[in-house]
Structure 1
Amino acid sequence: VTLNITMPGQRCGSTFSQLRLFLCFLMYCWVLADPVCGYFLKNCTIRGNLSDPSDMIVLCQKRNLEVIPIDIPQNVSVLNVAMNNISKIGKLDFKGLSNLKNLNMSRNQISQVDDGSLGHLEALQELGLAHNRLTTLSDHMFQGLVNLSLLHLDNNLISTIGSSSFQLLSSLKTVNLTNNNLYNMKDVQPIVQLPHLQELYIGSNRFTSFQSQEISNTSIELRLLDLSRNPLGIFRITADVLPYLEVLDIAYCGQLGRMEWDVLDRSFLSNVKRLNLSGIEMSFERMVMVLQTVNSSLVHLRLYDIGEERVKALTDIACYIPTLSLLRLHHNNISVLSKEFLQSCKQLTEMDVCNNNINQLSEFSFRSMEQLSTLKLGHNSLSSVPNATRNLPTLKILDLSFNIINKLGCSDFANLTGLTQLFLFHNQISKLPGCVFQDLKELRILKVGSNKILTLNDAFMRGLYKLEYLSMSYNKLSSISKGGFKGLASLKTLLLFDNQIASLEDGAFEGLVNLTELRLESNKITQIDIRNTVLTGLPRFRTLDISCNFITYVNDDQLDPPPFSHLTSLENLHIHSQRHKGLSHLPSNFLEGLKSLLAFKAGNLNIKDLHPNTFIHTPRLWFLDISKNAFTALKPELFHPTPRLNRMYLSKTRLQSLDFLIGANLSRVTFLQVSKNDITVVNERVLRSLPALTYLDMQDNAFTCGCSDAWFVHWMENNNQTQVVGAGEFTCNYPADLKDTKLLDVELQFCTVHLGLYYYISTTCLVLLTLVASFAYHFLKWQVIYGYYLFLAFLYDTKQRNKLTPHGCQYDAFISYNAHDEPWALRELLPELEGEQGWKLCLHHRDFQPGKPIIDNIMEGIYGSRKTICVISRRYLESEWCSREIQVASFRLFDEQKDVLILVFLEEIPTHQLSPYHRMRKLVKRRTYLSWPRAGEQTGVFWQQLRLALETKDGPAEENPILSGVQAL
């Protein structure tokens, strides 16, 4: 057998190239392993996804912040820091937030915004600085906001605006400067002249006049101008600078004296469609002039707080404007609507006289309005449905809410065949006659909540064929009789909450074939009433709310029949309670039949345990709220039937551990709320069992601050998927010396070795090992290979030497030779030693046992012979198996310290060729060796010496003179 070995020096360049590539790969792995910025904000909450800038919203409002947080993710799209105590905006507060589009800093204490501090927000489109303490807008305050389109500066103390403050805001469309201290219209001139400005709100300032020459010399594109609540003494337009103005609000102006109106040409405001003259201090004549100025385009007119007499006179004039369609007359103390009052308003489509003291209407008040579609009479003093609302075939919306109507008659809604919405809530109605709605064949929405209705009678049996939404909440219904809603075949939503319903008769909701939502919360229903015979015939039923009732199951483990077994299409079930005592116990088959259920709300029910089969009937469950109960602990198998569960609410449940989540099959949960419990330690396996978790709320728990939570702190700060809400406020409950200390402030570094240290040590060791291996292979290749085979021989020797002993040896000598030297061994060595001298030899081609591993045959041959004769040649030195044979013999020689090895050199071999076999070299220097005579020399001496060597006893070397060496190299 020949071992082919590449000589040193070959392919060394390739070896080091591969080494360089390997080192580069290690550095790449280091970069990948380096922890990234986590999904954790100390003072804020994130909505959206870290990887999607267009979807990420950071909410920091109401956190008592005094500065802008420094850990805001740089790819945030919306940032809300409103309602805090921030007083100053510095130059670096928003550095890096280049994707921010909406910034709300309203309701703080901001009095200073450094120049250039907003310049980093090149993508910003909406900026809110309302309700602060700004006094001055400097020239460079908004520098860099080239994409800003909406700016809120209302409710500040602004009195000065720099001449170039708005110069570069070319995209600005809306500016709100309401309620500041501006007094000179020239201050807003740079704003008005912006190329794309459409809406300007400058009400509640100190402007005493509005004159066109003060704002512009050319036409501007302004669509809306709000000047309300300014002490304007004059409104003057002398040029066509507002040709596109559509909305003009001058309500409550002229409070320091009557306001003058000076518009030289009516065409200057020819596009105004909406006008607000509410509460204005202006003479009647001037108000008429205002109406005459806009009489070619006015659509909506608002006249609040101008008095009964004036409003009647102005209404009569306004109604002659052919384009007018909506008239609002709130807060004018109108008590009677006479026939003449609205006689001229023939073209109106919407009439709003809410918030007056109307208690009487002429039967003909609205008869002239042939196009009237919306009539609002809410917040008045009507004691009955007025005759004036009857026989209006074009009417679609009628609002009679917040009156004192106590009785309904059969003719109250006569001939309102086109009505689609009717609002009667907040009245004193106690009875619904069976004929009251008979003409409302097109009605879609009916609200009669907050009345005193006791029974349904037959009110819903006729007429309401297309009704889709019915609200009867906050009444005094005590029961629902069979067929009470039978005539409402189109009804989709039925609200009956906050009544006194204690009884639901069989077939109570019969005929509601299109019903999708039924709300029965806050009544007096018991479990006896929720049964199969009540909620039958509802094929499209999706949502049922029976919260805050008197349903209890104390000891019932099984219900017969299950209450919802036939509601196979139900998707939302709410049974939570606000009372101290809820269900107390939830039977195991309570949800049986709800195979389509998606959301289950069962909070505050005082439940102490849930049977493992509770959710076995709801495989599609997606939303679960069982907060405010008294579980203490839950079982993992409870959630095995709900693999689609996504949102879980478990706050205030007295949980002491979250270990039940391990093995609970909740791989899709993204939202988990476990706040206000008794959790002290978070098991790492818990969070590993929730791979999709993106939102975790653990606020107000009793954390133990020690090494048990060290990994949790590290995880909160470095994970880039799960947001831990309010983590900056987590406090310690134990040990006592750390009580009320912030969890994130506790020094826990000693508990763990930083991951980077592991990376450093492992990488360094790997690099060093690679370098050592490369150098060893390059410079000590032969020694390494030889050492490898010595090691293998040592292993075999250790294994076999106790099995084989020299006593009673089977052979006199084991012959180790290379296959190329076999002719010499067979023609010279074998005839002499066996034929002439009579020794018994072991040769591998003759005496090795077939089928046995070669190395085992070698071991048995060497240890089964008194001596080992190694026939050395250059071929021998290159042979793998010959090397193993001499190695085994060498180990026997050194381990037993006996003369068992004889070396026979067939040819001269230079020392440098022996040097890799360092143990061979030592043997040659110390042990007996023989050289085969050269051609022509006599062989007799050689055979004589070999015989003497074979006859030598197996004692130590010093006892055998022959072992001192016959010849030396």
Structure 2
Amino acid sequence: MPRQHLVFETMHAPRSLHLPSVIVICYLLGLHNCVASDKKTSCKVLDGRADCSHLSLSAVPPNLPRDITSLDISHNRLNGIPPVSLTPYPGLRHLDVSHNSITKLDQGLCQTLPLLQTLNMEHNQVYVLKKEDVSHCTNLTWLIMASNKLQLHGEPFSALQLEPGCFTPISGLRTLIMDESNMATQVISKLCSELSATDIDALFLRKMKLVTLTNTTFKALQTTNLTFLDLSYNGMVRIQDGSFRWLSRLQTLVLTDNNIRRLTKDTFQGLKSLKKLQLTKALVKSANLDDFSFQPLSALESLILQKTAVHEITEHTFTGLTSLKELDMSWGIYTSLRHINNQTFVSLAGSPLRKLNLTGTAIKLINPQSFSVLRNLTTLLLDYNFIEQILTGEVFEGLGQVEEIHMSNNHQTVELISTSFVNVPNLKVLTLGKSLKAMNLDPSPFILLPNLTVLDLSNNNIANIKENMLEGLVDLKVLMFQHNNLARLWKSANLGGPVLFLKNTQRLISLQLDSNGLDEIPAEALRGLSDLRELSLSSNLLNSLKDSIFDDLHSLRVLNVQKNLITAVRPQVFKTPMSNLSLLVMDKNPFDCTCESILWFVTWLNNTNMTDVPGLRDQYLCNTPLAYFNHSIMHFDPLSCKDMTPFQTLYILSSTAVIMLIVTAFLLQYQGWRIQFYWNILINRTLGFSDASVEEGREFEYDAYVIHSESDSSWVERRMVPLENDKCRFCLEDRDLVPGMPLLESIVRNMRNSRKILFVVTESLLRDPWCTRFKAHHALHQVIEASRDSVVLVLLQDVHDYKLSRSLYLRRGMLRPSCILDWPVHKDRVPAFHQKLLMALGMTNRLQE
């Protein structure tokens, strides 16, 4: 059998409603009778059933057989069903008058048809249903009144009795709502008896004036699978011990808005499966909460005690809640919470509590280690209290797992010190809005919170902070800093310069700086915030903004700069942030509606279809000039700016020419040598002077010709010669001169027979005229004609580039980085130097420019 849901909920609460065997269906069913394919011309009668539907009748036919038991007169033009018209058919049990224009149910209908069981009046125009209309319908089991404009006057169904087995046809019933039924306790017991044979899962008994629950009220539900029970808004005063012991499968119990005077250790006896208990405004102010009252609730995970009044929380108040994960005591009156100490929550020592809500509980002082027993706590809510103290690290001792601390809107002020959060290293969300005294601390108290993602410092009138206030918050995503006094910190005239406190928060997604009196933004204030999606600067004094302040905000989706003094919206400032916006709020600014100030903005507004701009037509008004005063900026005519086009073109051309001239002069002054060098290489290639490709194909006698000063001979013998082997051979001038050949000719020959020319660069080499003239000139030709890989520099000393250029006619920029090696200072790096040297010597000389 499919699951069924039955709702008995009326607009006017009856004085004594007894569930009848009649099922009243007063909601839209959307049922329609099908019209036969063959058009009918008269009623069809078969086996005691008369079908007179779809005949455009205006009255009940008087000439049908008197013994019919079913009459279908739907889809006609009836304005009413006078009882006298049905007098010929006293045996009717089923009457269908749906889809007509009937305006009322005549009170004599059931007197004329005493056997009537089913009445279908859907899709009519019945406006009112009174008690007298159905008072005689004692055999009625189905009343269908869907798709009417129905109002119930009084208690039309109060005379109908609760019949045994009334739920048998719908035994798959899962949810039953009996709100405002005003049943007596005894009737509820009878209702539970009838529900015992159903699949009932959720039962709503709200606003039924159940002043007392007895230990037998729900006894009949013992065999059901009821998991949800709502008894809220009943004015309940007393719950007898053991009243819920029959509901062993119940998981949620709602007792909101009652007047319970006492909870004992047996009140919740038997609720071994209960996971959520809702007691919001359930207890009177003088209620007694006995020790061990919640002990039977070993499976309870959520306990809601909002707006309750309990004078004393003892060491056994919450004993037994071994599965509790959430405790909500917000907005309650608890004398014990005004001064929290290490005994306040000792009864929760055995609970795996994750969330504790103490919002609005008039807390004044929190002693050290007050929460130390709550080792599993992840969320602590302390908003709207009267806390006035210095937050030392010991206040949060034991909360090593806590991820959220909310302490906003405190009616007093708390003071932070550098170690306030030393015991909560895993904190991710911290709200301190409207709570703090000052924030000018060094080191910052937040430096101990590397996992913090949300920080609220709003409404604290903060005027002085250090530049390192947010240092260490590498994962901070949301910063709420609105309603403070940060104007002086961002002024260029500030002593020591602007305080760039956002430089350590490069992963920010949302930044709120509203109402801070800001009249300027430093050029570097928002640098690096490439992930920022929301920026709010409303209600400040911003006017002339620097061109580059928003250049890094490529990910911005929401920009709020309303209620400032912005007169011009220039592309140099706003083009980057507005390129991907989904929401722009810039209303209530005194816009200057001139070509220079507003043309680009109006053009952007006319062309954008991705950005929502609320209030564009009536909140974005011109302040100047007088012709546009108090008119929408959308009335500005862009065509009036066309005459400026020639001047703009001339300005662009002249500016471009000047910039190119400056750049050219700069290049010639500082990079002329590089241009000349590459020009020589190009000429050699073009004229075919290079024979690198030819030389690459032949065998070289040496891997490198070594050029060094006389004073560096010992270094060469000690560091270079030992590297020689079958695969690596150096040409040394003193050792490898060609016998019988003049010196200059021998040098040229050996250089030509070497794959590379290697300079051992020291100050002595640069002063040696023999090396710096003849040999250096030959090496320069090799670089230009062969390749940039043909010369290798080994720098034994730090030699400035201009000395290399003046002495050896070489610059570092002429050679590839892998061909410039520095002799290491540390001995353990010498093997790495040897490896780099051998790699440089093994590189091809084929042209790679």
**After TM superposition, is the score higher than 0.5?**
yes
- Counterparts of residues 780-859 of structure 1 (less than 5 Å): none
Rounded Cα–Cα distance in structure 1 between residues aligned with 2:153 and 2:275: 27
Rounded Cα–Cα distance in structure 2 between residues aligned with 1:253 and 1:423: 42
What's 1:684 paired with?
571
SS in 1 for 2:261: coil
What's 2:306 paired with?
425
Relative distance call for 1:315 and 1:668 in structure 2 (3 A) is same
What's 2:191 paired with?
315
Retained in 2: the 8 A contact 1:619–1:642?
A: yes
- Counterparts of residues 193-342 of structure 1 (less than 5 Å): 213-214=96-97, 238=118, 257-258=133-134, 281-283=156-158, 285-288=160-163, 291-292=166-167, 294-309=169-184, 311-312=187-188, 314-342=190-218
**1:293-328 per-position Cα deviation (integer Å, ceiling 9, x unaligned):** 545222222222222427536534434334223222
Rounded Cα–Cα distance in structure 2 between residues aligned with 1:231 and 1:336: 39
What's 2:700 paired with?
none
1:584 aligned to which of 447, 451, 463: 463
Report how far residue 711 of structure 1 moved.
Answer: 2.5
What's 1:919 paired with?
none
What's 1:443 paired with?
324
**1:729-776 per-position Cα deviation (integer Å, ceiling 9, x unaligned):** 211122345322111123342123699xx99xxxxxxxxxxxxxxxxx
Rounded Cα–Cα distance in structure 1 between residues aligned with 2:320 and 2:80: 54
What's 1:486 paired with?
372
Rounded Cα–Cα distance in structure 1 between residues aligned with 2:129 and 2:369: 58
- Counterparts of residues 309-458 of structure 1 (less than 5 Å): 309=184, 311-312=187-188, 314-346=190-222, 347=224, 348-386=226-264, 387-403=266-282, 404=284, 406-453=287-334, 454-457=338-341, 458=343
1:731 aligned to which of 621, 635, 639: 621
Relative distance call for 1:711 and 1:617 in structure 2 (3 A) is closer
Retained in 2: the 8 A contact 1:258–1:283?
A: no
1:595 is aligned to 2:474: yes
Q: Counterpart amino acid of 1:478?
A: K
Retained in 2: the 8 A contact 1:474–1:498?
A: yes
SS in 1 for 2:260: coil
Retained in 1: the 8 A contact 2:509–2:534?
A: yes
Report how far residue 512 of structure 1 moved.
Answer: 2.0
Rounded Cα–Cα distance in structure 2 between residues aligned with 1:657 and 1:290: 81
Q: Counterpart amino acid of 1:422?
A: L
- Counterparts of residues 621-770 of structure 1 (less than 5 Å): 621-659=508-546, 661-662=548-549, 664-690=551-577, 691-707=579-595, 708-729=597-618, 730-752=620-642
Q: Counterpart amino acid of 1:606?
A: N
**1:243-296 per-position Cα deviation (integer Å, ceiling 9, x unaligned):** xxxxxxxxx975675578788889x99xxxxxxx99963135444379445452
Rounded Cα–Cα distance in structure 2 between residues aligned with 1:753 and 1:511: 73
Relative distance call for 1:639 and 1:241 in structure 2 (3 A) is same
1:499 is aligned to 2:499: no
**1:142-183 per-position Cα deviation (integer Å, ceiling 9, x unaligned):** xxxxxxxxxxxx99xx9xx9x99xxxxxxxxxxxxxxxxxxx
Retained in 2: the 8 A contact 1:631–1:653?
A: yes
Task: Give the TM-score taking structure 2 as reference length.
Answer: 0.55
SS in 2 for 1:752: helix
Rounded Cα–Cα distance in structure 2 between residues aligned with 1:279 and 1:317: 28
SS in 2 for 1:415: coil
Larger relative contact order, structure 1 or 2 (CA cutoff 8 Å, min sep 6): 1
Percent identical among aligned pairs is 24
**1:659-707 per-position Cα deviation (integer Å, ceiling 9, x unaligned):** 3654642222222111111111111211223343343211111111222
Retained in 2: the 8 A contact 1:366–1:388?
A: yes
Q: Alignment length, in residue pairs?
A: 525
SS in 2 for 1:656: coil
Relative distance call for 1:360 and 1:665 in structure 2 (3 A) is same
Report how far residue 650 of structure 1 moved.
Answer: 0.7
Instruction: For structure 1, list consecutive stretches of 5 or more residues without a partner in the other structure.
Output: 1-153, 165-184, 187-205, 217-229, 243-251, 270-276, 760-969
Report how far residue 338 of structure 1 moved.
Answer: 2.1
Q: Counterpart amino acid of 1:704?
A: D
Relative distance call for 1:703 and 1:643 in structure 2 (3 A) is same
Rounded Cα–Cα distance in structure 1 between residues aligned with 2:396 and 2:95: 65
Retained in 2: the 8 A contact 1:295–1:321?
A: no
Relative distance call for 1:315 and 1:239 in structure 2 (3 A) is closer
What's 2:495 paired with?
none
SS in 2 for 1:345: helix
Report how far residue 443 of structure 1 moved.
Answer: 1.0
Report how far residue 373 of structure 1 moved.
Answer: 2.1
Report how far residue 561 of structure 1 moved.
Answer: 2.1
Retained in 2: the 8 A contact 1:407–1:431?
A: no
Rounded Cα–Cα distance in structure 1 between residues aligned with 2:137 and 2:485: 69
Q: Counterpart amino acid of 2:512?
A: D
2:484 aligned to which of 605, 627, 630: 605
Retained in 1: the 8 A contact 2:360–2:383?
A: yes
Report how far residue 439 of structure 1 moved.
Answer: 0.6
Rounded Cα–Cα distance in structure 1 between residues aligned with 2:569 and 2:429: 36
Q: Counterpart amino acid of 2:393?
A: D
Report how far residue 212 of structure 1 moved.
Answer: 8.1
Higher-Rg structure is 1
Rounded Cα–Cα distance in structure 1 between residues aligned with 2:192 and 2:432: 52
Rounded Cα–Cα distance in structure 2 between residues aligned with 1:655 and 1:207: 73
Instruction: For structure 2, list consecutive stretches of 5 or more residues without a partner in the other structure.
Output: 1-25, 34-52, 55-78, 83-92, 111-115, 123-127, 145-151, 491-497, 650-849
Relative distance call for 1:214 and 1:548 in structure 2 (3 A) is farther
Rounded Cα–Cα distance in structure 1 between residues aligned with 2:228 and 2:572: 63
SS in 2 for 1:375: strand
**1:33-72 per-position Cα deviation (integer Å, ceiling 9, x unaligned):** xxxxxxxxxxxxxxxxxxxxxxxxxxxxxxxxxxxxxxxx
- Counterparts of residues 96-107 of structure 1 (less than 5 Å): none
**1:768-794 per-position Cα deviation (integer Å, ceiling 9, x unaligned):** xxxxxxxxxxxxxxxxxxxxxxxxxxx
Q: Counterpart amino acid of 2:254?
A: K
Rounded Cα–Cα distance in structure 2 between residues aligned with 1:278 and 1:380: 29
Rounded Cα–Cα distance in structure 2 between residues aligned with 1:460 and 1:231: 64
Rounded Cα–Cα distance in structure 2 between residues aligned with 1:508 and 1:527: 12
Q: Counterpart amino acid of 1:749?
A: L
Report how far residue 567 of structure 1 moved.
Answer: 0.3
Report how far residue 534 of structure 1 moved.
Answer: 2.6
**1:186-227 per-position Cα deviation (integer Å, ceiling 9, x unaligned):** 9xxxxxxxxxxxxxxxxxxx99999884559xxxxxxxxxxx
Report how far residue 572 of structure 1 moved.
Answer: 0.5
Rounded Cα–Cα distance in structure 2 between residues aligned with 1:573 and 1:352: 38
SS in 2 for 1:383: strand
Q: Counterpart amino acid of 1:728?
A: R
Task: Give the TM-score taking structure 1 as reference length.
Answer: 0.49
Rounded Cα–Cα distance in structure 2 between residues aligned with 1:634 and 1:427: 49
Relative distance call for 1:237 and 1:643 in structure 2 (3 A) is farther
Rounded Cα–Cα distance in structure 1 between residues aligned with 2:361 and 2:105: 48
Q: Counterpart amino acid of 1:518?
A: I
